[in-house]
Amino acid sequence: MPDAGEQLDQLRQRIDALDTAILGLLNERASCALEVAEVKQAASGDVAPIFYRPEREAQVLRNIAAKNPGPLSDEKVMQVYRQIMSACLALEEPLKVAYLGPEGTFTQLATLKQFGHAVVGVPMITVDDVFREVAAENCHYGVVPVENSTEGVVSHTLDNFLSSSLRICGEVELRIHHHLMIAPGTDPAKITKIYAHQQTFGQCRRWLDGHYPRVPRITATSNAEAARHILEEENVAAIAGEIAAETYGLTILSKKIEDESDNTTRFIVVGREAVGPSGKDKTSIMVSTHNQPGALYKLLEPFHRHDVSLTSIETRPSRTGMWSYVFFIDFEGHAEDEIVAQVIGEIDSDALEVKMLGSYPRAITRS
């Protein structure tokens, strides 16, 4: 029997051989991606080709997960393939993606999860700025938060669709973990203020009441901004994600202080193009109805009759008149599906207006 040293040498040689084979296949895949870019460029003529296809990426990731024999988990395998696709896409065309900044926000993390690390991220101050940059074609896509499992909908994101022509091209679900952090040299016993985004305080309310009941809570425009700010003020702390601590060189005092262990935020990807069917899709619409009894029932009844599953419905004030409202509805299926098209047609015949916000692949995993 070979000793442990000989066994390790043999295994390392095998790993080296596998790495060489993987490297060759990776570059072969990259060469194929460049050929795809050439075909798209030739076929598009004078029109700029569309290199990023969310539906195709979703199909690739689902296919890889379905074929995965282990021992790596499906989630880990998809993370690896996301980076491979990101690097290959960057050879075709580096994507510029605006996100709600500054650096270190959960929205940046969602952007990296959706597009991979080869993307060129552009932090924006407000959700309005993200929509504006994409509409002006300064960025290919934008990523903004739309809903949290604990605190509910991000109304400002929905309100942008009242006047924007942008489409929803994808969604990302991100498990949110909040950490209490301080700047280097800060004495944990002398914390006089805690900074965080307003929604974060809501998500950590019970923990804060139990650990820092008398410390003032100061609202910041984002958790990343709160993290950045504590570098400038003594004896203060911030609540933010691990990416913010890494970005600004902060020390984490307490990890995972969110009240709900499954605290999740849903982000949407906004762009200018329609997305084709991927096989497991979601559709979002905005509907204006007549202000009359039974309006909501008439709106929802076709979904029930055709067995189309609703995933979300939100109401926002309309800008067209007092006490007038619009409904934002998410449901399973793609606009090109026969049943979905029939439901939308029935709604459109009775509503004042139906605005298609987009059909797009459903979020694949949470992490």
Per the listing, tokens 């080869």 go with: 118
How many C-beta neighbours within 10 Å does residue 207 have?
Answer: 17
Percent residues over pLDDT 70 in the chain: 97
* Residue 127 sits in the same domain as residue 200: no
* Whole-number Å distance between alpha carbons of 284 and 309: 12
* Residue 123 sits in the same domain as residue 267: yes
* Residue 189 sits in the same domain as residue 252: yes
Q: What is the pLDDT of residues 102-148, one digit of tens each?
A: 898 899 999 999 999 999 999 999 999 999 999 999 999 999 999 98
* Residue 356 sits in the same domain as residue 330: yes
For 15, list phi and psi in degrees, rounded to 5.
-65, -40
How many C-beta neighbours within 10 Å does residue 231 have?
Answer: 14
* Residue 202 sits in the same domain as residue 300: no
What residue type is 311 in one-letter code? T
Query: What pLDDT is stored for residue 3 in this prediction?
Result: 85
Asked if residue 126 lies in contact with residue 255, where contact means CB atoms within 8 angstroms, the answer is no
For 172, list phi and psi in degrees, rounded to 5.
-135, 130
CA max distance for the chain: 85
pLDDT band for 199, please (50, 70, 90 cuts).
Answer: confident
Q: What is the pLDDT of residues 259-287, one digit of tens each?
A: 988 889 999 999 999 999 999 999 999 99
Q: Which residues contact 272 (CB under 8 A, 6 or more apart)?
A: 134, 135, 137, 165, 166, 167
**Which CATH number belongs to the domain containing residue 282 in this structure?**
3.30.70.260
Number of domains the chain is built from = 4
Q: Which two tokens stand for residue 23?
A: 């490297």
pLDDT band for 325, please (50, 70, 90 cuts).
Answer: confident
How many C-beta neighbours within 10 Å does residue 117 have?
Answer: 12
Last residue of a domain, one of 260, 291, 310: 260
Q: Which two tokens stand for residue 73?
A: 């988990």
Peptide bond into 302 cis (omega under 30): no
